[in-house]
Amino acid sequence: MNDAVLEAAKRIAAAGSDTARLDARLLWQYARNFNPPVEDEILARFESLVGRREKREPIAYITGRKEFWSLDFEVGPGVLVPRPDTETLIEEALRLAPDRRAPLRIADLGTGSGAILIAALKEFSQAQGTGFESSPDAFGYARANAARLMGARAQIRPEDWDQARGPFDLVFCNPPYIPSSDIESLDPEVSQFEPRAALDGGPDGLSAYRALAGLLPGMLAQGGYALLEIGLGQAQDMGTLFQMLEILRIAPDLSGVPRCVILRKP
């Protein structure tokens, strides 16, 4: 690393980042991607980017990009940054429906950047999908990502979950599931920058699941599946909440944390 990157890594580490060296390298590369590559302009741009990272702004917001399922998504303030843990939902969908050419009807409730929906449609080549997103900021990102990465097979609607009309064969949802009182204790990248509406699951973190328990039975086709992301310690509550659907299993993420509850409409 050059001197500017080394110094930036020290500053970012002092601000509390556990990935300071990687952050500095990514920001240096990002600063150099603009044309023309004039050295003084690169250094000035890099300094501005490092200043933003020192305030703990997420790297994904600074660069405007985040990879999910090997796809490149546009992200920014107002939309939840896609996480690797959420890829568990796609992995489990592929186990449920091994026929990649099945003409599935897919919904993604609270689609955010559109990452889950678009990743699923990339895998199921004959499927059609709809993402529902009531946040104007997130809707803009989802619509742009769908147009760039998927085209006509993905529709993004500026609507809340209760406007979704099935029947759907697969329903995905990564709902807000952080207990309200826990949000301020999260890393600043999350608590200070990401949209609270995408995080706040109410007093016990389960408010969104209660709403889904009422909506999903009427939304799913007979034999259809719902795949929901859950938070740490929430697996034990799922059986009580989803009494009208069959819980097939709760799948762990790569860290072994129960992450995806898989429901079926009998």
Same domain, 50 and 78: no
Contact in structure between 175 and 228 (CB atoms under 8 Å): yes
**What pLDDT was estimated at residue 2?**
83
Report the candidate in 264, 175, 174 with the shortest Cα–Cα distance to residue 226. 264
CATH number of the structural domain spanning residue 119? 3.40.50.150
For residue 115, is it within any domain?
A: yes
What is the DSSP secondary structure assignment for residue 193, as one 8-state letter?
Answer: T
For residue 60, is it within any domain?
A: no
Q: What contacts 151, CB < 8 A, 6 or more positions away?
A: none
| Per-residue pLDDT tens digits for 231-253 | 999 999 999 999 999 999 999 99
The residue length of the chain stands at: 266
d(CA 199, CA 190) in angstroms, rounded, equals: 9
Retrieve residue 211's tokens.
Answer: 């709403």
Contact in structure between 119 and 153 (CB atoms under 8 Å): no
Report the candidate in 201, 138, 214, 148 with the shortest Cα–Cα distance to residue 175. 201
Same domain, 20 and 98: no
Same domain, 183 and 252: yes
Number of folded domains in the chain? Answer: 2
Q: What is the mean pLDDT of residues 157-178?
A: 95
Same domain, 24 and 105: no
Residue 134 has pLDDT above 90, yes or no: yes
Same domain, 127 and 161: yes
Residue 37 has pLDDT above 70, yes or no: no
Per residue in 63-73, is it b (16+ CB within 10 Å) or e — as a string? Answer: beebebbebeb
Same domain, 13 and 108: no
For residue 124, is it within any domain?
A: yes
For residue 256, is it within any domain?
A: yes
d(CA 116, CA 112) in angstroms, rounded, equals: 9
Whole-prediction pTM: 0.94
Q: What contacts 236, CB < 8 A, 6 or more positions away?
A: none
Same domain, 28 and 109: no
Same domain, 78 and 190: yes
Same domain, 91 and 38: no
For residue 187, is it within any domain?
A: yes
Provide the greatest CA pair distance for the chain: 64
Same domain, 158 and 186: yes
Q: What is the mean pLDDT of residues 193-210?
A: 97
Same domain, 239 and 164: yes
Place of tokens 């969908």: 93
Same domain, 221 and 174: yes
pLDDT range class, residue 33, cuts 50, 70, 90: confident
**Domain boundary, last residue among 55, 81, 98:** 55
CA atoms within 13 A on the CB side of 256: 0
For residue 148, is it within any domain?
A: yes
**What pLDDT was estimated at residue 38?**
72
What three-state secondary structure class fits 195?
Answer: coil
For the four alpha carbons of 249, 253, 258 and 260, in that order, the dihedral sign comes to negative
Neighbouring C-beta atoms of residue 59, cutoff 10 Å:
21
d(CA 163, CA 231) in angstroms, rounded, equals: 25
Retrieve residue 231's tokens.
Answer: 């938070």
Place of tokens 């609607």: 157
What is the extent of the structural domain holding 7?
3-55
Name the pairing type of β-strands 220-229 and 258-264. Answer: antiparallel
Q: What contacts 60, CB < 8 A, 6 or more positions away?
A: 66, 75, 81
For residue 61, is it within any domain?
A: no
